[in-house]
Structure formats: structure tokens, C-alpha cells
Structure 1
Amino acid sequence: MRYFLLSRLRRNPRFFFSPIASISTPQSPSPLHPPPLSSPSIRTLHGLPPNPQSVNPALPSPSRVVQSFSPEETQTDGGDDGDGPMNEFLSRFVWIIRPKLADAYPALPKETLEAMLLVVCQKVVALMELGASVDDPPVDLSGDLWKTIVEVSNSVCEAMRRDRMREELKKYLHCDEVKEMCRFAGDIGIQGPMLRELRFKWAREKLEDVEFYRSLDQMREQAQNQERQKVLSLSSGTDAGSVSLAEEKVGASKVAALPQRKGKIKYKIYGLDLSDPKWAEVAEKVEEAEKHFVPEELQPVEGKCKKVDERILSLNPDRDDPAPLLAEWKELLQPKRIDWLALLDRIKERNVDLYLKVAELLLSEESFEANIRDYSKLIDAHSKADHMEDAERILEVMTGRGIMPDILTFLILVHMYSKAGDLDRAKDAFESLTKVGFQPDLKVYNSMITAYVKAGLPKQGEMLVREMESRDIKPTKEIYMELLRAFTKHGQVDGAQRIMNTMQFAGIQPTLESFTLLVEAYGQSGDPDQARGHFDHMIRSGHKPDDRCTASMMAAYVKKNLLDKALDLLLTLEKDGFQPGIATYSVLVDWLGRLLLVDEVEGLLSKIAEKGETPFEIHVSLCDMYSRAHQLEKARKSLKILEARSKLLRADQLERIINGLLAGGLLEDAKRIYDCMQSQGLSPSEPIRVALLAAQSIPRHKSPTRRGGK
């Protein structure tokens, strides 16, 4: 564009000057005020150089056009031509200023506007290039026009700079370093708009680094040019050899002296600024923390100390005292805490009982530096080994030395006492936890519920389940099943039904065991209709009744003596392929034994023998049946089996045996079972005591032999 305009002016100088002579000043003022031809501000090349400040000193100097634009700063990838940036600047400049001239002079013809535009461009080029004063236009420009030219040139330079930055930014968006950081960010889960923002941020930082080093190069070139000019000025009139020598000295000095960088150096790793002073504080804290958890080096166990170490490991904890050998080992090695801990680890691998004994001795060792964790670990080890008395002794030693239990110690105590079934101490430890501000978790609640279940208080355990639900802690299926078993065992059918409903609300589908427990609970409460309803519901849910569930249903019918319904259920199940097992046959043996159907009972016994070993509890029914049927030999045979394992019998079972023996006239045997019951700490009921006294004082007549008797 520049060469086109200049060549056009050179070919036809009259093209510019003749139209301008006929221009008259517009009637209304405009943003651009080029003076008329007769104005003294229009001068030829033979006059003084342009000086817009003489008209209006507040207007910008034309030299600002040169200062605001540099071809090196607007270098683009458009080509290798050195005039490429200048041509791009002139094309943009002309594109912006042409409509401004047209708006300022709407009445001028197009040729005149083009001539004015040529003069403006030639003036701008003359100021931007050194040695261009030969081509300066013979017309001076007004101050308002120069102000507009400065604004347009600044906007063009800024636009070219932004375009150049945008083009260079595209390169760094795809460089290997930015790709690696983006890959790392994606691996740690940064995606979407945040990853895009970080990608542009890293590319801009990379571009800033390049711009910084590029500015260093420019500063170096400028400094070299200045030094070279100084050398030339100093060496004027000297020979060429001294000039070259001076230039070499200047170059050597510039190589040795690097430009000083302003500001603090920033070290960044994946966008994290590590030059912040806070990282120095972090490093000091890390160094202090490492002193606590970084283990020291172990002392080598060699020579005589090694032999003593082997003797310690071979000790028998039941008969040997490790204290003398520990004292000898200490004297030889002079151990620190880490050496004692290593010895405990070696002992624990060889013998756990010896470890517990040695660890307790080391609690009073000064060089061991025992803390609360050593006490709590030893208490936990004793509790897991079911050594409750030893654990309590260690706890007393700890408190006696002024070390009060902390949260971890209370947690161990809750689990230990719950496992041992000591409800009162478990409650104390649980309350201590809540007092220190600890919120019980699932494991603590599970231990406390187990303690209540073992104490026969499932309702208090259910209250803890409600507390868990209020705190958004979801109880496990095992907790629900444990409470369901406890309610069923104690015959609390309402509690069992509540737990069953709670499980369903919690999304836990009923299982065969849960249905069986519910049937058993209703059977014990004497409600066979409800038991049968849940039994049928279980079948409709897709569960096939097993031997235990069927036996529970039979026991429910036993409570109401509904033999016809029981047999009808058995026939229905057998049609569906069910085969009664030992549990079902045992219930039928007990039922028929109460009815003194000896032959039927013995037929069922043969079927039980085919299935497996006869249950021990079934002899309670047999002893009672044979005694009442006056088959005394068979009664004494079953009684002998029961007496051998009498500690396994409940109080109600022992009372049934006593009643059966009294009904069969076996007074001495009944009295012996009565004494055995008292020796076991079981209190006989008043009817049993009265019946035994009556049998001792009133002679009984022999009853006629029942069906099946011998």
C-alpha cells in the first residue's frame, strides 16, 4: 500500500496539488480540521519542519506515532518480507482512517479524499522511517488531524499486537509442556471448563517466559549498539585495528555481565507457586514432624547380647521369669525405645503369651518411655485373648500412674466389656466416650447392642438402633438379625415384629432365617394362626421351608394341641417334595410322648436314627413318656443319659423330668434330680417342691400299664 501510494504521487504530482487548491473550508466544524490552502500552516518542503504544537501545545506530538509502533513488535507469520509488518500496519491504518476523512468532509470528491489519505500516509511513513525526509509531503497537517492519526495508529498497533499474541498463544497451547500438564490435570480429575482455563493459563505463562527472554535479547542488542557507538566516537581518527580491539573488549564485557532481572524469581510446578515464603515455614514444620515419626536406626544385636536375646525368645511364659534376662540385655545393649520395640516384635512373632508378659514388665522401664498407647495396646491384646482380669489390672496400673484413659482406650473398653457380657462397665465406658465429645460410630453401637442382647435386654438395643437412624448411621443386617434372635428367644413377639418391619423399611429383604424366627416367636407366644400366616408369606416370597422352620411351625401347633392342622401341613409339604428332618421329628416325638403314644414315638425314633444322631434333649421327652407309661427300664436308660449331661438342661426341663419320675413312682430318682437341680443353683418351683413332699409322705399305687407298655 505504501509503495503504491508513493509511486502514484511520483508519477503525477499535479494529482494532489491541483484539486486541493479548489477546496473550501466546510461550513461546520469537524473532528479533523485540515487548514485551507491559504492558511499559513500549509508550507512547502523549503519551510520549517511541521510543528503542530505551535497551533495547540496540548495536542500530541507527531513523534508519538513513531513511539507507539515498532515493526519488530508486530512481526507476523505472513511472510519473510521485511516490509510485511509495515504493509499490514498501513493497510489497517488506511482502512480505519478513510471513513473518518469521509465523515469529516462529506462534500469532497473521492479523488480529493484519496489524495488527502496519500498525504497522511506519506507523512506517517516519513516519521516512522529514518532517512525518509526526502519524501515528506509539501503540506503540514493540523493538530486535530495529528491527534486522530495518533489514536488510530495506537489502536492499529494494539490490534496487531493482540493478533500476534493470539497466534503465538496457539503455538503454546499445543506445546509438549502444556500437553503434559493437561494430561496430569486430567489424571487427578480436573475436567471441563476448569481444565480449559488452566490450559490457557499455562500457555500464557509459557508465552510470558518467551517474551521475557526475547526482551533480554533486545536489551542486549541495544546495549551492544550503544557501546559500539561509544567506541566509534572514542576511536575516531584512530586505525581500524584499535577499533576492532575495542569492539572485542565491549563484547567480552557484555558476555560477562548479564542484565539484572526485576522482581523475585518464581518457581512453579504444575501451576503451584513454590516461591511463596509460606513454603519455607512448611519445610521447617515437616522437618520437625519427621523427628517424631521417622524411626531411628536400630542398634546391632551382636555377640553376647545376641545370645541373651535368643535366651529371652526361648523362655516359657508359664514357669520362667524374663526380668533377669531383660536386665542383662539392657546392660549389654543400652537400648533406646526403638530397640525395645524391636525386641517386642521378635517376641510376639515367637510367643504371644511371652509378649504380653514382657510388655507388661517394660511399662515400668524408664528407657522404654512408655506412653498411653503402650497401655492401650496391651489392654487391647489382653481383651482379644479373653484375659479380662489382666486387662483390668493393666488399666488400674495406668490410672495409678496418673495416665487417664483417652478416646481410644474407652473404645477398647467398650468392645472388651461388650464381648464379655459386662453390661454395666460397657455402659460406663460408652458414657465416658460421649462425655469427651466422641460421636459413637457403627462399631461402637454394634458392641453396645451386643452387650444389651447378652444381658437379655433387646429393647434397649432397639433404642440404640433408633438413635443410629436419627444420626444417619445405617444399621447393618447383622445388627437387625441379632435383635430379632434376642426378641424371639425371650418370646417378645411385638419386638420381633417391629424389627422385621424396620428391616423391610430399611430395604433389607426378609430371609428364610428371619421368617423362621418370626414363626418361632409367634409359636412361643401361643398364636399359631399368626405363625401360619408368616409361614405362608414365606412360601409366597419364594423361600422353601427347611426342617427348622417346619419344626417351629409344628411347635406352634403343639401349644394349642392342634394335631390335625399339624398333620395336614406335613402332608401338604410332603406333596411339594419336603422331607421332614431331625428337628421336625423331635417336635413330633415330644408331642406324641405327651400323649403316651409309645409305638408311634418309637417309630419316629427309628426315622431320626436314619437321619443322624439322636438329639440329647429328646431324652427329656422319652424319660417323661416311659415313666408315665411305667416302662421303667427304658425310663432309667434315658435318665442315665440325662444325668451325665445335666448341666446342659434348663430348669423347666429338669422339672418335667421330676414330674415324670414322680408319675411313674420313681421317687428316689426324682429326689436325686431335685437335689441335682439345687446344686446347680436352679430354684425349683413351688408345685415341684409340693409334689415331691407329697410323694414322700403319701404312698402311691401303681397305675395300669398304658398302650405300648411292657
Structure 2
Amino acid sequence: MNLKHFITRRSINCLRKLNNTRILSQQTYFHRNYRTIPSSISSLLSSNPALHGILLANVPKYPKPFWDFGSRFIHTAQETVVMDSETGSEDDEDSTTNEFLSRFVWIMRKKLNEAYPGDDKNTIDGMLLFIVRKVASEIEKGGDEQTLGEGTDTSPQDFSPDLWRTVWDVSNSVLDDMQKATRKEKLKGFLQSEEVKEMYRFAGEIGIRGEMLRELRFKWAREKMEESEFYESLEKLREQDAMSRTPEESKTAERKSVGEDGDVGKVEPEVTLPKRHGKIKYKIYGLDLSSPEWADVADKVHEAEAIISPQELKPISGKCKLVTEKILSLPEHSDPAPLLAEWVELLQPSRVDWISLLDKIKEQNARLYFKIAEHVLDEESFQTNITDYSKLIDAHAKENRFEDAERILKKMNDKGLVPDIATSITVVQMYSKSGNFDKAQVAFENLIKQGFRPNAKMYNSMIMPYVNAGQPKAAEPLIRNMEARDIKPTQEIYMALLTSYAQRGDTHGAERISNMMQFAGYQPSLESHTLLIEAYAKTGQSDNARHTFDFLMKLGIEPDDRCTASMIAAYEKKNNLDKALQLLLELEKDGFKPGVATYSIIVDWLSKLLLIDEAEQVVDKIAELGETPPFKVNVSLCAMYASAGAEKKALQALSAVEAKKEQLGAEDFDRVINGLEAGGFKQEAARICKLKEAQGFASSAFR
């Protein structure tokens, strides 16, 4: 009989029943140690010579032993025997039967090979044929609810109980494996279900990562599969109940719906909930969330979360890992484009992958980072936005790479991206820092047109570059602009402007800034008055300087060494030595003690008068203070000794001056050269003149 009609789904269920019945009826032959099965087969079959003879005798009769099984195929350890199938497509039962026979014969062949290692393949195939036929016969009997031990004749050629147990154990293992494979494939389908995916995405959004997220996904899929199997079992129970009903029971059930008077009664309507009319309204704290506008809000929130919430990085392995290492080890001047193109092709990166790569590059090589970051701006997968341009421009500006920053800005404008406020602020600060005031002013005006209201910090970043460049007057319109916008300039800004005017000797500018400070509410201080006195001293306005000095003392502020030195320098310009000495005497009565700054001005004044002894005495007083004389003192002494013709002291002072030639200004060079010429040191004067030209100053004409 064809095995195709025996091993069906129903037959497999019968096989389960047969196996369970046989184990219960033959407990004495059950062994849990499966390692004894091959020996059991060998001993039991060999103990029955008639059965062994039949197996060996039947082998030659079946040169192709599996042809009798119709459309079945059986896998062996060495080869696969494929049988001719009937025309037409096979149904699910055929595929289940094929898989069962394939697994069963493959395992039984292995056990027979272990029990009979000396027999050839044809002999083993004959044994398998005999076993499979007997199993098929028992399955057919099992379909009629018969067992081997009950109601069947036991022939001399039948198997022993232990051999039957081995056969049923193999059958059970095959069925278990098939069931596990089926559940595994079914689980894969539930892993891709929408409900599981939604829970998986939510778990990722709240921060669950790695193995825990993977275990949760499998857990949810198993729960969904068990739920589906539960409802499927209920449907099967309903079908079985409907099939098991007899015609009489069906008629009885129908009569229950018929009235007692013989008339057909009305079927009772199903009880259902009433239908709701109108739209459902949701109100929370007075907000009507049922409005369609909230749907747009939810979509926008979802889009924002997709940008803000971090995505998972793609794993980098294999060739892609090697390419990543090559990118990280690239020299600064090499072209990264080929490696980046290969990396993109291998990984198909998203924005988070690019950011991770840039962070790694920045840690190892900051210069290479700028080069690759600029290249990444053109990558579509990076999803470049205005913030990326702004960050790169700011990074270049902080490293004083102004040309690179301008190139990034030009690339941004070429793509039609309008700089936002943050980018404009960065551009303004960059141009101000580089000294490009015209472009800084244009960028600042564009920033105001965008509706940005600059604060004191922004104005400070615009004003300080003018101050550092020696253009304090160009910064005053910004001060007035701040006042017009009701922004109070800080005292530091005023002091920076006042310092710049004082260094240039612009008394009008210094007076103007001093008055602006007082109108802004800042009280006069020792520092502000000292700067104003320095401005008067540079222009020789000793009377104005003394007026400011006296006003400072009326305010109860004691002048310090620097302020006094500035006042003495103002008298020096007019050569009013008597007034300077009188001022020093008055201050000494009030407890003032001159310091290094005051003594330095006095030495400079005495050196111009060629009062060598007096100047040396003042230098000794500086040494008594425990401090080294300033460099300006050496310039004064060199010019004095050279003009006086003191060759030894002049050359000694000249060597000290040449040792710090980078600190010499144009006036200092001229003073030393004039002193050497006056003392007749022509060669030294020529050498210092060349040194002046080497420092970038205009040459001096000397005889």
C-alpha cells in the first residue's frame, strides 16, 4: 500500500497515540538512556534469525527499494534519493509527509549504521524498507484505534518491543523537531507584526537598548503567538462540536427557536451597545483636543522627535571597519573623498553614523576633522542643516581660520541657505576678530534686519576690535547706537576707549569718553583720571593735567605711583622741573613715596639734561626698592652716556639695549641713534640704524 495515504496529519496524530499507549503497556522495556539504542537494535534483530534472514533475503528483490513509496523522497547521510512524483502540485499534507519521512529515515539510517557497521548500503536500505513498511502498517492500524499489543497478531517476523520503542522514539523526536520548526517560522511572522513593531519603537524611544530590547521584542512576539493560538483552538473546538452533533441534536437545537404553539418564533435579536451619534470630544484643562488642528500638532511633534531622539548606530564590521580605520589614520594633506565614498557604499550611513565618525576624527586629528567635516556637508545622507554650517564656521573662527570660515559661508550662500541669527552672530564676531571692519559692519546690519536685538555682549564684540586696531573713534557710533536702544554700555567698554585715546595722545577723545562715562552714571575713578592725565602728558598740556590731578585729590582719591609719574611726565614735556620738584615735596609731606614708575620718569628727565650723577642716584633708589629698572631706563642711560661721551658706560648700556631690541619703538631707536651721533660713535650709530630698518621702521638719516 502506498505510504502517501498513511502518513498524513491525522496519521501523525495517531502515531502519537500509539506511542503513548505502547509505553504505558510495556513499562518493563523502557530505557531513558538513548545511547543503548544501537546495541538494542543489534542484539534484538540478531536474536531473531528468522527476521534477520528475511531482511537479508528481501534486499535483492528491491534493487530500487524506495520506488514502492510513490511520491516520497528520503535523505540519507551520503546522498538524497528522490522518487518520481505524481503529476500535479502537492498540497500541505504532501510537504508534511515528505519532511517526516526525510527526517525519520535519516535518523534510522544512522542508528542502523551504528548497529551494523559491516553491512553495505544495499543491506541497510533493505532494513530501512522493511522498518518503514512496518511503521506504515502500524500507523494504518493506529488510524483504526488499534495497538500493537491489543487485537493484533504477532508474527514471528515482527520486531521486538525494544526495537518498536526505538522506532516510536525516533518518530516522536521527528515530530517534535517539525513542531518546533513550525513554531519558529510562525514566531518570525509575529516579530514583524505591527503591534510588536510599535511596542519595539516605543521601547527604543524611552531609552531601552541592546539585549534587553531584543528580549522584549521576542517576548511580545511569543505572547501574540500564544494569543493567536488560543483563539485558533477555540475555533477548532467550535468546528469539532459542530461536526460531532448528530442530526437529531441539530434538529433539537433548531426546535428551541420554534414557539410552543407550533408557530415559528422570532429569533431573539442580539444585544449590542447603542450607536453613538456625533463626534467624540476630548477636553483637557479646557482645551478641545478633538479639533483637527491637534492632528497637525501631533505630526509636527512626531517629526521633531525623529530629529531630537537619537537613532541607533549601525554596526561597523568587516571591510567597513577596515575602511573606517583608514579614514581615522589619514594624513592631513591627503584627499579623503575616495575612502569616504567607499565607506558610504558599504555602510549606507545615517546622520548619527556621520556624527559618530566626525567625533572620532576630532579626537584623533583636529585638522583632519575640519577637512572631512566640510566634505560631509555635501553628503545627502548627512541631512545638512543651517546649524551644521554655523558650528563649522564658528570652529574655524575660533582657530583663526578666517579664509576657511569664509569659504564655508560662501558655500552656504550658494546653496540658497539664509544664515540664521546664530550664524550671523558668529560671522560678525569672526570679521571683528580678523579686523575686517567693513564686512563686520555689513553682517551686523543684516543681523539687525533679521529682527535680532543685540545686547551689550554683542556690541562689545564689535567695539573691542576697533579699540585693538587703534581706531577708537570708529567705535563711538556703536556707543551712541547702544544708548539709542536703551542699552547701557559697560564701564569696561568706556575704559577700553579711554585707554586707546590716552595711548594715542588724543586729549579731545579722552575728554569726550570721560564725559560720556559721567553721563552714563559711572563715577570718576583713579584709573580714568590717570588715563586722562597720560593723554595730557603726551601732548604737553601740563596745566590741564595738573587740574585733573588736583580734582582727583579733592575727590579724596590718593594718587598712586603711576598717576604721579604721568603728572611728572607732563611737566617733563614743558621742562618745568621746579613745579615737578614742588609737587613731589608736597606729596612726600602727605606720606607719598615715589615708586619705580616715578623714578623712571625722573631718570629719563635727568638723562636728557645730561645730569649723570643725579640720574645714577635715582637708579640706585630703584635698586633699593628691590626691583629691576624698566627697559626704558636703559634706553635713557644709553642715550645719556653716549651724548656725554662716556664710552665704556655707553657701550655697556648699548649692549643691554640691543639684547632686547624687539622692545624698542621708533622713538627709542631715534633717541639712541641721536645720542651715539652726538658722542661721536658713528659705527655704533650706523649699526643701530640698520637694526631699526630690520625691525620694520623707517630708516634714520645721520651724518
When normalised by structure 2's length, the TM-score is 0.56
Aligned with residue 524 of structure 2, among 476, 490, 510? 510
Q: Does residue 585 of structure 2 align to residue 571 of structure 1? A: yes
* 1:31-42 correspondence runs (5 A): none
Q: Per the alignment, do residues 328 and 584 of structure 1 end up closer, same or farther by CA in structure 2, a change over 3 Å counting?
A: farther
Q: Does residue 487 of structure 2 align to residue 485 of structure 1? A: no
Match of 2:615 in 1: 601
How many Å separate the matches in 1 of 2:289 and 2:490? 47
* 1:684-699 correspondence runs (5 A): 684=699, 689=701, 692=702, 695=703
Deviations for 1:24-68, whole angstroms, at most 9, x for unmatched residues? xxxxxxxxxxxxxxxxxxxxxxxxxxxxxxxxxxxxxxxxxxxxx
* 1:151-170 correspondence runs (5 A): none
* SS of residue matched to 2:505: coil
* 1:544-559 correspondence runs (5 A): 544-559=558-573
When normalised by structure 1's length, the TM-score is 0.55
How many Å separate the matches in 2 of 1:337 and 1:582? 63
Match of 1:635 in 2: 650
How many Å separate the matches in 1 of 2:315 and 2:553? 70
How many Å separate the matches in 1 of 2:272 and 2:335? 78
How many Å separate the matches in 2 of 1:403 and 1:267? 41
Letter paired with 1:683: A
Using the TM superposition, give the Cα deviation of residue 593 of structure 1 relative to its aligned residue in structure 2, in angstroms. 0.7
Using the TM superposition, give the Cα deviation of residue 657 of structure 1 relative to its aligned residue in structure 2, in angstroms. 1.5
How many Å separate the matches in 2 of 1:349 and 1:360? 17
Match of 1:611 in 2: 626
* 1:317-466 correspondence runs (5 A): 317=332, 322-323=336-337, 325-399=339-413, 403=417, 405=419, 407-434=421-448, 438-466=452-480
Q: Does residue 686 of structure 2 align to residue 671 of structure 1? A: yes
Q: Per the alignment, do residues 500 and 348 of structure 1 end up closer, same or farther by CA in structure 2, a change over 3 Å counting?
A: same
* 1:203-222 correspondence runs (5 A): none
Using the TM superposition, give the Cα deviation of residue 415 of structure 1 relative to its aligned residue in structure 2, in angstroms. 0.9
* SS of residue matched to 1:524: helix
* SS of residue matched to 1:429: helix
Q: Are the counterparts in 2 of residues 421 and 454 from structure 1 also a CA contact under 8 Å? A: no
Q: Per the alignment, do residues 569 and 323 of structure 1 end up closer, same or farther by CA in structure 2, a change over 3 Å counting?
A: farther
Letter paired with 2:360: R
Deviations for 1:455-509, whole angstroms, at most 9, x for unmatched residues? 3321221121011101112211221111111111121112212212221222222
How many Å separate the matches in 2 of 1:611 and 1:463? 47
Q: Per the alignment, do residues 614 and 305 of structure 1 end up closer, same or farther by CA in structure 2, a change over 3 Å counting?
A: farther
Aligned with residue 312 of structure 2, among 285, 289, 297? 297
Q: Does residue 605 of structure 2 align to residue 591 of structure 1? A: yes
Q: Are the counterparts in 2 of residues 582 and 611 from structure 1 also a CA contact under 8 Å? A: no
Letter paired with 2:632: E
Deviations for 1:338-392, whole angstroms, at most 9, x for unmatched residues? 2111222233344433322321232333433434432332221111111223323
How many Å separate the matches in 2 of 1:413 and 1:284? 35
How many Å separate the matches in 2 of 1:405 and 1:285? 23
Match of 2:666 in 1: 651
How many Å separate the matches in 2 of 1:276 and 1:363? 40
Letter paired with 1:620: V
Q: Are the counterparts in 2 of residues 558 and 591 from structure 1 also a CA contact under 8 Å? A: yes
Deviations for 1:209-234, whole angstroms, at most 9, x for unmatched residues? xxxxxxxxxxxxxxxxxxxxxxxxxx
How many Å separate the matches in 2 of 1:542 and 1:373? 54
How many Å separate the matches in 2 of 1:620 and 1:257? 110
Q: Per the alignment, do residues 474 and 672 of structure 1 end up closer, same or farther by CA in structure 2, a change over 3 Å counting?
A: same
How many Å separate the matches in 1 of 2:523 and 2:406? 42
Q: Are the counterparts in 2 of residues 581 and 611 from structure 1 also a CA contact under 8 Å? A: no
Q: Per the alignment, do residues 475 and 362 of structure 1 end up closer, same or farther by CA in structure 2, a change over 3 Å counting?
A: same
* 1:45-194 correspondence runs (5 A): none
Q: Per the alignment, do residues 304 and 477 of structure 1 end up closer, same or farther by CA in structure 2, a change over 3 Å counting?
A: farther
Match of 1:530 in 2: 544
Q: Per the alignment, do residues 311 and 266 of structure 1 end up closer, same or farther by CA in structure 2, a change over 3 Å counting?
A: same
Using the TM superposition, give the Cα deviation of residue 402 of structure 1 relative to its aligned residue in structure 2, in angstroms. 5.4
Q: Does residue 637 of structure 2 align to residue 622 of structure 1? A: yes
How many Å separate the matches in 1 of 2:303 and 2:428? 35
Q: Per the alignment, do residues 629 and 332 of structure 1 end up closer, same or farther by CA in structure 2, a change over 3 Å counting?
A: same
Q: Are the counterparts in 2 of residues 626 and 634 from structure 1 also a CA contact under 8 Å? A: yes
Deviations for 1:78-101, whole angstroms, at most 9, x for unmatched residues? xxxxxxxxxxxxxxxxxxxxxxxx
Q: Per the alignment, do residues 279 and 431 of structure 1 end up closer, same or farther by CA in structure 2, a change over 3 Å counting?
A: closer
Q: Are the counterparts in 2 of residues 426 and 451 from structure 1 also a CA contact under 8 Å? A: no
Deviations for 1:289-347, whole angstroms, at most 9, x for unmatched residues? 43444443322345554565455445564x66655554454344221122111222233
Using the TM superposition, give the Cα deviation of residue 631 of structure 1 relative to its aligned residue in structure 2, in angstroms. 0.9
How many Å separate the matches in 2 of 1:392 and 1:281? 39
* SS of residue matched to 1:617: helix
Letter paired with 2:359: D
How many Å separate the matches in 1 of 2:435 and 2:615? 40
Q: Are the counterparts in 2 of residues 363 and 370 from structure 1 also a CA contact under 8 Å? A: yes
Segments of structure 1 that go 5 or more residues without pairing to the other structure are: 1-255, 696-710
* SS of residue matched to 1:533: helix
Letter paired with 2:677: L
How many Å separate the matches in 2 of 1:377 and 1:596? 62
How many Å separate the matches in 2 of 1:539 and 1:521? 18
Q: Are the counterparts in 2 of residues 628 and 660 from structure 1 also a CA contact under 8 Å? A: yes
Q: Does residue 514 of structure 2 align to residue 500 of structure 1? A: yes
Match of 1:226 in 2: none
Q: Per the alignment, do residues 553 and 316 of structure 1 end up closer, same or farther by CA in structure 2, a change over 3 Å counting?
A: farther
RMSD between aligned residues: 3.2
Deviations for 1:150-208, whole angstroms, at most 9, x for unmatched residues? xxxxxxxxxxxxxxxxxxxxxxxxxxxxxxxxxxxxxxxxxxxxxxxxxxxxxxxxxxx
Using the TM superposition, give the Cα deviation of residue 558 of structure 1 relative to its aligned residue in structure 2, in angstroms. 1.2
* SS of residue matched to 2:594: coil
Q: Per the alignment, do residues 574 and 354 of structure 1 end up closer, same or farther by CA in structure 2, a change over 3 Å counting?
A: farther
Q: Per the alignment, do residues 449 and 633 of structure 1 end up closer, same or farther by CA in structure 2, a change over 3 Å counting?
A: same
Deviations for 1:535-573, whole angstroms, at most 9, x for unmatched residues? 233344343333222221221121122223323333333
Q: Per the alignment, do residues 633 and 341 of structure 1 end up closer, same or farther by CA in structure 2, a change over 3 Å counting?
A: same
Letter paired with 1:340: W
**Relative to structure 2, which stretch is displaced further, 547-556 or 533-542?**
533-542
Letter paired with 1:279: W
Q: Per the alignment, do residues 411 and 635 of structure 1 end up closer, same or farther by CA in structure 2, a change over 3 Å counting?
A: same
